Every structure is written in structure tokens, then in C-alpha cells.
Amino acid sequence: MFFDQTYEVILGRMITRVRESFPDLDTREGSVIFFALGPAAREMAAMYRDMDALLNETFADTASRDYLILRCAERGIVVEPATSAIRQGEFSMDIPVGSRFSLNQLNYVALERLSAGVFKMECETPGNAGNLESGTLIPINYIDGLAWARLTDVLIPGEDEESTEALRRRYFDSLHSQAFGGNIADYKEKIHSLQGVGGVKVYPVWNGGGTVRIVIVDSTFYQPSTMLVDEVQTAIDPVQNQGVGLGLAPIGHVVTVDPVSETAINIVTAITYQPGWDWAAVQPNAEAAIDQYFTDLSEGWADTDALVVRISQLETRLLGVNGILDIQGTTLNGSAQNIILDADSIPKRGSVNA
């Protein structure tokens, strides 16, 4: 690396060489030699900085996003684009497919009728934003007879464009584990590329030779909807024609796709509040802190044998909430012990008594 080639170092080296060749010349600061060499030394220092930056861009672990994309392209890896959230809309009547509605800053379009008054809605703005809000929908165009409209469940979560670090991780994963012909790495790679999937576990030969069980969590790290599970099943190995190779799974593989299960964690704890605070005041932030801890755990579900909900971690999160001074005596599902979840389960906040 060239980070030590500073202006001062380069100028000092140049002046030393002048002194070695012409010892009688004045090289002190302010001399003609000093001023003559200074601009050249500054340009050379800038050149070394540029060389350092260029060298960093040539390696996948230090490359910036644009150069990392070029490096990934050499292995056929492309950035996963942002996708639009698919939501459930509920209406007082059947509406025309293609009808558009707004909710605050986002617009949604009706894609498909699911049942009487229930439609599949797509957010027109790609990304995670379409997952966040629910509530009253306002029709953009007049619909005769419509009394009310609501946006409710997230059917398939929308995802932001793949982050730089996620792309970098995927690049190195492609080097460390070779995906080929329906091996575990191949299943993980293909299923991760499907919209709405945030994590996957693969169980080969789970019910005899040629059978594969897939368990997924959605991209918001919650239990996936039935629609998402069905879409992944259809993409990998359609139920109507299992094992014949009509999906992404190889011929002869009978694949079953299941959602990750959720384990309710009921929390009882004794909180000492700061002056002027009580449970009613801290409850929204406390529950948000619990939910964030559980989400953080769920993000690592696919890479662990089983998640562990730890009392110490939970108490640490709660101690960071404004209004909470101290916490003690915490129990999870009636026990003062950490909870080890099943291999295919993620935590979900149950009741909280404080």
C-alpha cells in the first residue's frame, strides 16, 4: 500500500537526493530548490493516493459498490432489484381489476380478486416502504358504490435494492460453496432470489430418497404468508406435478415448502421507572425494543441450528428505553431460563406484564 507516501515524505526524499548529488546547493525551506520540488511532491502524493484507491477497488472485500458490481458480474451475479410489496386490500364491494388507490404517499393497484371484496394489491413504489403502513385506502378514480376500502396484510413483502454488503456477502458465498445440480447451496441460491424470501433452511432426504423440505422466512423476517409459501412452492416444484422438473428443482426431487413457525414469548418482569414514568408511558417503546430484538434474532435464523431468546439480551434492550431505570426478575413463558426455540421457529412477542 502507498498510504505512507505523503507529501512530506516524498519531498524529504527528493531533497535528500539533491543534497547527495549537489551538497553545495541550498535546500532549506524557502530556497529555490525547495519551491521547485514542492509542486512535484504534492502531485506525486496525490498520485499515490489515487493508486491506493484504485488498488482497493480491485478487491471484492474493499471495492465500492460500482466496482463490486463489476466484480460480481464476472461470476454471473447481478444486483437484486427493488421489488414491490403485494398487499391485501379489503373493500365494501368487488372493484375493477386495475383500480388505483392511495394511502398517504404511496399508491396501490388492484391486481387480482382473491374472494368477495378481497383483492391482491401491488404497491406502485418498489421497496420496503410498501410493507409498512396499513389503513384506509382512498380511490384515485371514482368507483360507484364503494363505501370503504382498507389495506391490511402483507402477502409478499417488497424489498429494497440489494445493499452493497449483502451483494459482497453473496459474492463470497459463491466462492465458498458451489451451487450445482440441486445441492443444498443450489436450493438456497435459487430460493433466496425469489421475491419476499429472507432466509431458507434446506432439509435433504427428509422423508426418503428424492425428497427435500424447504423452510422459509419472509424478507421482513416474520412468518411468511400462505400466498408467499404457495408461490415459492410453485416456483420450485409445483404441487400438481411434483418431481417432474417443471419448477427450479431437478427432475426426481419432490420438494415441500413450509413456513417458519412462530413461538410466542410471554414476558413478565419487574421494572423500576425513572421519576414521572410508568408502564403506560414506556409500553410502546418497550414493545418496539422487544420486537427489534426478536427481529434481530430472526435475521440469523437461517444460519443457526436453533435460536436462543436470552433474558440478559432482552433486559439490555429494555434498559435502553427512556423511562426505565432498572429491571429484574424477568421470566420467559413462566421460566427464569433462556428459551431455546425449535430449529424451524422464530420468536414472536406474546404478552408483556411489567
Q: Are strands 118-123 and 339-340 parallel, antiparallel or unpaired?
A: unpaired
pTM of the model: 0.79
Write down the pLDDT at residue 173.
85
In the prediction, which pLDDT does 25 show? 83
The model's pLDDT over 275-298, given as tens digits with 9 standing for 90+, comes to: 999 999 999 999 999 999 999 999
Question: What phi, psi does 125 have (nearest 5°)?
Answer: -105, 115
Query: Please, are residues 338 and 258 in contact by the beta-carbon 8 Å criterion?
Result: no
CA 102 to CA 105: how far, in whole Å?
Answer: 7
pLDDT band with cut points at 50, 70 and 90 for residue 29: confident
Question: What per-residue confidence (pLDDT) applies to 41?
Answer: 87
pLDDT of amino acid 19? 86
Q: Can you tell me the distance from the alpha carbon of 304 to that of 140, in angstroms, rounded to the nearest whole number?
A: 46
**How many residues are given for the chain?**
354
Residue 236: all three cell numbers together: 420450485
Q: Report, as an integer, the average pLDDT of 44-49.
A: 88
Mean pLDDT, residues 94-100 taken together: 96
Task: Write a three-state SS string for 206-265.
Answer: ECECCEEEEEEEECCCCCCCHHHHHHHHHHHCCHHHCCCCCCCCCCCCEEEEEECEEEEE
Q: What's the rounded Cα separation, in Å, for the pair 354 and 336?
A: 15
Q: Is the pLDDT reported for residue 1 higher than 80?
A: no
pLDDT category at 2 given cuts 50, 70, 90 is low
Asked which of 16-25, 78-87, 153-162, 215-224 is least confident by mean pLDDT, the reply is: 16-25
Q: How far apart are CA 109 and CA 119, in angstroms?
A: 10
Helix orientation angle between 32-57 and 7-21, rounded to the nearest 10 degrees: 130
> What is the 3-state secondary structure of 124-160?
CCCCHHHHCCCEECEECCCCCCCCCEEEEEEEECCEC
Cell numbers at 298, concatenated:
430472526
pLDDT digits (tens, 9 = 90+) for 289-323: 999 999 999 999 999 999 999 999 999 999 999 99
Residue 340 pairs in a beta bridge with: 308
Q: What is the pLDDT of residue 174?
A: 84
Could you tell me the CA-to-CA distances from 8 to 11, 12, 26, 98, 275 in Å, in that order?
Answer: 5, 6, 18, 67, 58
Q: What is the pLDDT of residue 3?
A: 64
- Rounded to whole angstroms, the Cα distance separating 170 from 225 reads 26
pLDDT in tens, 244-272: 989 999 999 999 999 999 999 999 999 99
Q: Is residue 80 within 8 Å of residue 161, measured between CB atoms?
A: yes
Mean pLDDT of 88-96: 96
Does pLDDT of 69 surpass 70?
yes
Q: Measure the CA–CA gap between 340 and 321, rounded to whole angstroms.
A: 25
Q: In this predicted structure, what is the pLDDT of residue 27?
A: 80
- Does residue 110 have a pLDDT over 80? yes
Cα distances from 194 to residues 18, 27, 171, in angstroms, run: 65, 67, 17
